Amino acid sequence: MIRTTRRLADGREIVYYDADGSRARHDAVDTRDLPPVSTHSRLRWDALLGEWVAYASHRQSRTFLPPADQCPLCPTRPGRPPTEVPDAEYQIVVFENRFPSLATGVDPDVPPAAPGSPHAEQRPGFGRCEVVVFTSDHDRAPADLDPARLRLLVDVWADRTEALSAIEGIEYVFPFENHGEEIGVTLSHPHGQVYAYSFLPARAQRLLASVERHRAQTGGDLFAEVVAAERSGPRVVAANEHWTAFVPAAARWPYELQLVPHRRVPDLPGLDAEERDALAELFGDALGRFAHRFDEPMNYIAAWNQAPVRRGREDWWLHLQLFSFRRAPGKLKYLAGSESGMGAFISDTDPEDVAEQLRAVTW
């Protein structure tokens, strides 16, 4: 993999990633007249739930569903306005978000607590938010990316995880993709994101707490036991030598897959070359099944669950959640009263049936 680092007009970092053997130079200069990025994000502690909430009101003005000829993720080419990517061609490119929820240059001057609520501790919204653009082709869906591009994407995720984990104060690195307007995507060009948090997100906290509680009660390894059971269970959808994709026994979403490596590794950088090859293969297979389950491709979220930067790394088992809100043709699963109000999921589908349906998908 070839990595080329440049700067955009407002000082944000942009990194081009090319497969070995590429002759791309990426010398184009960002000619836009951009104001400096100003971020006033802050974090507030929910003392009752024991988790942080981020506030980023400046994001209200971010770009929203522009027409294709004004897409900010497309290459910069003659006859079109300059974009976030100065070069006319690229394979995969990563840059700091222009409208970040969290930032390393965030305003540090925040009161110690929310007004009138001494239990709601306040901190600056420190972190980093990056955009990962999978291809220069605006109309190419992630499910249509060739195996070589998916393999490069795996290396990019691993590289960004290493780079962001090295930032002092970062506690968790989260690569993810939101796909489909129904999910809330505001740019249709195929892309994902990476968030680097200065705190442990609620899901990571709960996973670690469950693993630690299981060990204290039974002396067992919860992650290893769950992976072993699912790999030999009735909900396996696809597998290869190094990875298995299965519908979780307690799936929350109408269509949900987890992809797990057969060897315990804490995060994407921990995968060896063969495991990365196998991941690209199985990830492409999973995307294809979601794209062809119904007449129209399913919206989805692809969420990498990696070990925290410092805590619990020896216990963690890397895994990918791939899930969709679609429950049937033309019907979505809305997170209404029980899910949104109480966090108690009620599923409209059966995990074993979903696994059978996804196994039967061909294309």
**Residues identified as active-site:** 191
Enclosing H/E stretch for 177: strand 172-179
Q: Which residues contact 1 (CB under 8 A, 6 or more apart)?
A: 17, 18, 19, 20, 152, 155, 156, 159
What is the β-pairing status of strands 243-246 and 255-261?
Answer: antiparallel
* SS3 letters across 200-267: CCHHHHHHHHHHHHHHHHHCCCHHHHHHHHHHCCCCEEEECCCEEEECCCCCCCCEEEEEEECCCCCC
Structure tokens belonging to residue 149: 């591009």
Where are the alpha helices (H) located in the chain, listed in sequence order?
147-165, 202-218, 222-231, 273-292, 342, 351-359
